[in-house]
A and B are shown apart, each in its own frame.
Chain A
Amino acid sequence: QQPVQSPQAVILREGEDAVINCSSSKALYSVHWYRQKHGEAPIFLMILLKGGEQKGHDKISASFNEKKQQSSLYLTASQLSYSGTYFCGTEMDSSYKLIFGSGTRLLVRP
């Protein structure tokens, strides 16, 4: 039931774009995205509910394809502060239990 994230790691130059994917084998009610810096607590980025909506947060946006049971996180014009591990958390129908993927490590270099 754990969602699968890809890629496992990515290295960018400042200003480049990246896409992180999160796929589930089960039908999803919502997808949550968090970023965690080394040694720190995960920080909430956004929630996407089923319905295929897309959300944006500064230069970070995400989409949710309910039919494909997957979500993608888009980071545009990356900044050094974007470095960290990104986790997607999936929520199944009629359940408030959040299951996190194993994470995608993102490193933005000057």
Chain B
Amino acid sequence: EAGVAQSPRYKIIEKRQSVAFWCNPISGHATLYWYQQILGQGPKLLIQFQNNGVVDDSQLPKDRFSAERLKGVDSTLKIQPAKLEDSAVYLCASSLLPGTNEQYFGPGTRLTVT
């Protein structure tokens, strides 16, 4: 089966600019996650969707980050305006069910903010 798809793979922007990332989860997976992984650290959950509803977004900096999953399938994460500290790899993952099911990660988008 096809894995989790993400685009773009790399993005370089200047601070205060905006950027958007796209994720297409594995077909049939109801739960979708966005993680931020700063170099040398573990993934940090930004937002979790169950179908097209938000389950957890407690660590999403809502003054600059937004995410949506309109039809319960693919998702978009946006940063506006970007800060230097947003430089990281943004990973999208999906799972068939929430909680105890394994998560399948996409290849990630490496964002560099200059």
Which residues of B are at the interface with A, using a C-beta cutoff of 8 A? 4, 31, 33, 40-45, 48, 55-56, 58, 91, 98-108
Contact = CB atoms under 8 A, between A and B. Distances in A.
16 contacts: A30-B99, A32-B103, A41-B91, A41-B105, A41-B106, A41-B107, A42-B91, A47-B101, A87-B42, A95-B56, A96-B31, A96-B55, A96-B98, A97-B48, A100-B42, A103-B42
A19 B5 CA distance: 33
Contacts of B44: 100
Nearest to B31: A96
Contacts of B33: 98
Secondary structure of the A side of the interface?
Answer: strand
A97 B56 contact: yes
Contacts of A2: 42
Given A32-B102, A97-B45, A102-B41, 4 more contacts: A41-B4, A87-B42, A96-B56, A98-B103
Contacts of A96: 31, 48, 55-56, 98-99
B107 A91 contact: no
Contacts of A102: 40-42
